[in-house]
Structure 1
């Protein structure tokens, strides 16, 4: 890296980058192995974050360095390149901290002071009064609550928190103070008067205080996740990035300046949202992922701007255009990662096994259905929502049944159970839609989810068919019968989800049909899972058969490492054919 930073000619850069690329591939293998060895989930999350930075920055380093070499006197190109090297050095330092077990930097220690963690600790202390009235002082308890309420100011002071959420958080904070005052009063009495009535009053005060803290956490969670979901939907079309690319090629300095202001504002919104999400993330690894997301938006925003400025100054430069494209892709990729992060946080909050879920509730708009943008999303009114309520409750019961069945599998990495978990996760988000909750806000969101749900069901049918080929002839018919039921229902759901409808009544009918078909798939799944589990044990192939080769929780960098070893098609950092880029550099040099 030090040599790369100092190169002054294309020929020298090609030579050193080839060596650097090979070393980074090997480094990816080593860090992937270390990540798998780690027992501490926080360290695993930090290693995953560092490796993700190295994965994405390797490509950025290539284009940023090429741009700097082509335009050596361009200040914005120099700043762009320096930013990449700085970020890679920080990521390497983080890897060193983890593998040498040295003390993490202060920025990573921030994860220990989230509101979620503070509320959890506070409740534990309050509930501890049942066993021992003297193990904590009222001053300590008051200080803990003050610290929690101080953290809630991150929400109430934020310009992006809605007025309704701000008012509810403030009201819940006032209520928490009142409940603690009442608890302290009864607690003091209990220390001097040990009567049955006082003991009952203390129990009531403990329950009310804990319930109040749960409500506060719920309000904070809703404030953060609804803000994040709204932002992700609003920026899903990447209009600012598209405008930057167009105005940059045109060399329009004034228009680029206007776009960079909009991007800076978008960056501030996303950074602030990541901070709020960290407070309600629910687990320490997710807190670390939130910090990583915040850092990424904070850094890539200015890097996109410097890349755009370089292109504006050199509008005919193909290298400068390629560089801007790479940084814009990194931004889009981080938005996609943030969508997944939001889903995980919601899963944890709802008590669903977020760490095992395999699919984002709301896929990225425009990727699966070309007609999405042409259709007007519809929100159901109260009466229509109520009609779907009963169907939704039945769907919820089925998801609970399926979740219970997936729990019984000894091998949680088996492809059958992973698809089952994925399908159940999406069905749950559709159930939440019937309650007017969750990430699916409009009927178009529901239809989009139904389409992906059906696709996942067909994938499961394919896996089950492969499994049936391993069975004895006597056992095959049972499974094939269920597969024959599953495929038509999924296909019907796909057709329904893709069918364009207009008008309120037609839209409601389509939503109703989608929920009913989803119920049909879940009913079959609740039969398939126990049957497959039984047959798997009977045929004795278990333990490893049909295991996922790259579990969804692994980041893309690790997946590419595995694919590299199996197929030899890509290097470990997701750069297809490093030699292609080296050849490209040689070609550019000759030009």
Structure 2
């Protein structure tokens, strides 16, 4: 329509300029419209071609890094390692530039956050091969980041060709990772949070003003409540949730259930009227239900933020534990090292719990992704600090073992 208006204006100007009066010239207008449409079609094809080129560049750079990573993992001597690592580093620089330049172009907030998380993993590459366990974990995380970059660039298309295995720690997987590519896609894009469940319930309740409470609506509301009760267990089952907060959450859950039952009763009564129409009783039930969900949101936020504040106040504890681990390793004191390792892993578990709760209350996709990958990184990299310290305990005079500990401690600190 905008093009046609411009064409009409151009035609009118042409008529005036040529001193033509009376009727219009339809053939001029039609030809201008065809020309404008051809121009728009050409511009669209050029833009699509440019996007295709950018996607190809990103995927090619990603594939180069993946190939170099495989070569780096299979080296057998230090000379080969230096050569392969130099080649790998150059390709990582290219990938870092490309992902950094294009991540800002993504329209979807979740995709931008996922790309940022993948870049952070990629930019932290291994600095030595002292510990096979440390090395294998880092290589696996790099491959996961490559897969995530492919997934984001292709906007949800899985890289089935380059699917990699899971990281191994003492022959076992250190993380609860998906067993298939489809499960991995679900893990990347899932929005299984309390905030999402409460918002879904609120939206469904709001819709009853127009749809009333028919059988399908009642089933949807009951399913939404069941989802809330299931996800609420992350708060109530946490060992770090205070007794007061746990009781408040359970009471608010009972309140939401009671208000929902009242809303359903009102809906059933309205269905028996002819014709069924919303009234003050339905509006009162809806408002009571929404008030209960708002109170639940506030309580969940309070519970999560109180735990986060406790972690911030005890931030020095992590530095002290890491220093104690390094000192015990240097002193080859295995008994003291085991004691500090248990305390450190317990501390990491606490941080993971807080990340999980913060993800539940996050109101934006970017915050949810940040909390989720913070939890994942701590779960995977935390035990690697202990592994590096144990390697140092075996080789206390090794410069590489010391550098390995420093590198793993730096990664853990960045995740924290």
Shorter-chain-normalised TM-score: which range? Answer: 0.7 to 0.9
- Secondary structure in 2 matching 1:219: helix
Deviation at 1:48, TM superposition (A): 0.5
- Whole-Å separation in 1 of the counterparts to 2:80 and 2:278: 81
Which of 301, 313, 318 is 1:233 aligned to?
Answer: 313
Select the structure with the greater relative contact order (CA < 8 A; seq sep ≥ 6).
1
Matched, 1:256 2:337: yes
The change in CA–CA distance for 1:138 and 1:315 in structure 2 (over 3 A counts) is: same
Distance 1:134 1:209, change over 3 A: closer
Which residue, 197, 222, 229 being the options, matches 2:302?
222
Establish whether residue 93 from structure 1 lines up as the match of residue 147 from structure 2.
yes
**1:360-399 residue pairs with structure 2 within 5 A?**
none
Q: 1:283 aligns with which of 356, 361, 364?
A: 364
TM-score normalised according to structure 2 size: 0.74
1:393 aligns with none
- Deviations along 1:107-156, one digit per CA (max 9) or x if unpaired, are 53463221111111111111111122156421221121111112101111
Match of 1:50 in 2: 118
1:420-459 matched pairs, under 5 angstroms = none
CA distance in 1: counterparts of 2:74 and 2:305, whole angstroms: 44
Larger Rg: 2
Contact 1:176/1:212 (<8 A) preserved: yes
Contact 2:195-2:360 within 8 A present in 1 as well: yes
Aligned: 1:133 with 2:201: no
- Taking the TM superposition and a 5 Å limit, the aligned residue runs for 1:61-210 are 61-63=126-128, 65=129, 68=130, 77-101=131-155, 102-103=157-158, 105-106=184-185, 108-109=187-188, 111-133=190-212, 136-193=216-273, 199-210=279-290
Q: Determine the structure 2 residue equivalent to 1:270.
A: 351
Contact 2:395 2:401 in 1 (8 A): yes
Q: Which consecutive segments of 4 or more residues in structure 1 shift more than 3 A?
A: 193-198
1:303 maps to 2:384: yes
Post-superposition CA distance 1:546-571 (Å, at most 9, x none):
xxxxxxxxxxxxxxxxxxxxxxxxxx
User: For the structure 1 residues 160 and 110, does the alpha-carbon distance in structure 2 shift closer, same or farther, using more than 3 Å as the test?
Assistant: farther
In 1, are the aligned partners of 2:391 and 2:401 still within 8 Å (CA)? yes
- Among candidates 297, 317, 320, match of residue 401 of structure 2: 320
How many residue pairs match? The answer is 321
TM-score normalised by length of structure 1: 0.52
Would the aligned equivalents of 1:160 and 1:227 in 2 still touch at CA under 8 Å?
Answer: yes
Q: Is the CA contact (8 Å cut-off) linking 1:111 and 1:288 kept in structure 2?
A: no
Q: What is the aligned counterpart of 1:31 among 85, 99, 103?
A: 99
Q: Could you tell me how far apart the structure 2 residues matched to 1:159 and 1:4 are?
A: 42
User: How much does 1:196 deviate?
Assistant: 12
**Unaligned regions of 5+ residues in structure 2, if any?**
1-68, 159-181
2: CA distance, partners of 1:245 / 1:184: 61
CA-to-aligned-CA distance 1:318-339 (integer Å, 9 cap, x gap): 211111111111111122xxxx
User: In structure 1, how many angstroms separate the alpha carbons of the residues matched to 2:347 and 2:312?
Assistant: 11
Distance in structure 2 (CA, Å) of the matches to 1:298 and 1:27: 26
Deviation, 1:195, is 9.6
Q: Tell me the SS of whatever aligns to 1:319.
A: helix
* Residue 278 of structure 1, CA deviation: 1.3
Residue-by-residue CA offset, 1:341-386 (whole Å, 9 max, x unaligned): xxxxxxxxxxxxxxxxxxxxxxxxxxxxxxxxxxxxxxxxxxxxxx
**SS state of the match for residue 123, structure 2?**
helix
> Are residues 144 and 181 of structure 1, via their aligned partners in 2, closer, same or farther at CA, if it must alter by over 3 Å?
same
Question: In 2, Cα distance between the equivalents of 1:312 and 1:306?
Answer: 10
Q: Distance in 2 between matches of 1:44 and 1:261?
A: 36
Match of 1:552 in 2: none
